[in-house]
Amino acid sequence: MSLLAHALVRRVDSNMTDSAAADMARANGLVDRALATSPRSGHPHHVKGMVWEMQHRLEEAILEYETSLSVNRNSVWSLHHLALCKLLVGSIEEVIPLYQQAIRLSPREPRIGWWYRAIGAVHLLQSRINEAIVWLEKARNDIPAVAAVRSNLASAYALKGETERAAAELTEARRLSGDDRYSSITRLRAARYFGVPKIQALHEATYFAGLRLAGMPEE
């Protein structure tokens, strides 16, 4: 039940369904049944965290991911999601250590590029531009077709003054994206949730500032 719920949530998160609300409702029902059947099983807690995360109920998601990790401390994707939620609620200083722990546990993780990208993005938000570029280039090498990596790199390169490289990465982000979110700052802001006001302000001062320098228009 929890595996099916997981698949349904991932289908919604990947924009691969025309029935997102129904899929999420079904996933929530399935995972609640799994938790009722096996409350000390880690995976249902992980999936329940994903359900809360998709609904931006981040504090509840954090509790579920922490419960998942209390059952299975090697659950690297619970670490990943916990780190993302910690960032969005403003606990930015906890994010990189969680990803470093995930990398230590699973250094050959097939999707490790997502962790590299997250570390790079946090360095960028904290204005550590050189460190951000190192990690984002590692992410680009591992997951070159992910538009978000290219947009982060575009911002970082622009903030470092490497405008040609920044413009090239922004062009790639637009090409790789499945929508028009990288066509303007306004559309990008509307495309995803950037967290509590503290984190939104960091995005404005770094990520969005760099994208403007890379050539992204406001509207």
As a three-state string, the secondary structure of 113-166 is HHHHHHHHHHHHHCCCHHHHHHHHHHHHHHCCCCHHHHHHHHHHHHHCCCHHHH
Q: Tell which residue, 125, 31, 36, 114, has the closest CA to residue 76.
A: 114
130 and 34 in a common domain: no
In terms of residue numbers, what domain contains 188?
110-219
pTM assigned to the model: 0.94
Residue type for position 183:
S
34 and 127 in a common domain: no
The pair of three-digit structure tokens given for residue 152, joined into one six-digit string: 């982060």
Q: What is the pLDDT of residue 19?
A: 96
* Of the residues 37, 59, 80, the one at which a domain ends: 80
How would you write the pLDDT of the chain (219 residues) with one tens digit per residue?
Answer: 999 999 999 999 988 999 999 999 999 999 999 999 999 999 999 999 999 999 999 999 999 999 999 999 999 999 999 999 999 999 999 999 999 999 999 999 999 999 999 999 999 999 999 999 999 999 999 999 999 999 999 999 999 999 999 999 999 999 999 899 999 999 999 999 999 999 999 999 999 999 999 999 999
The pair of three-digit structure tokens given for residue 54, joined into one six-digit string: 């998709």
Q: Tell which residue, 103, 211, 199, 88, has the closest CA to residue 153.
A: 211
Q: Round to whole Å and give the CA distance between 128 and 141.
A: 20
Q: What is the pLDDT of residue 86?
A: 98
114 and 74 in a common domain: no
| C-alpha pair distances (Å), 148 with each of 18, 19, 153, 175, 177 | 23, 25, 9, 11, 8
| C-alpha pair distances (Å), 97 with each of 15, 50, 65 | 30, 21, 16
Q: What is the pLDDT of residue 64?
A: 98
177 and 126 in a common domain: yes
Q: What is the pLDDT of residue 178?
A: 87
Query: Any idea what the CATH number is for the domain that residue 39 is in?
Result: 1.25.40.10
Q: What is the pLDDT of residue 171?
A: 98
Per the CB < 8 A criterion, the answer to whether 185 and 218 are in contact is yes
166 and 67 in a common domain: no
Q: What is the pLDDT of residue 95?
A: 98
Is residue 87, in this structure, part of any structural domain at all?
no
Is residue 99, in this structure, part of any structural domain at all?
no
118 and 28 in a common domain: no
Domain count, the chain: 2
Is residue 46, in this structure, part of any structural domain at all?
yes
74 and 125 in a common domain: no
143 and 66 in a common domain: no
187 and 133 in a common domain: yes
Is residue 88, in this structure, part of any structural domain at all?
no
Per the CB < 8 A criterion, the answer to whether 99 and 79 are in contact is yes
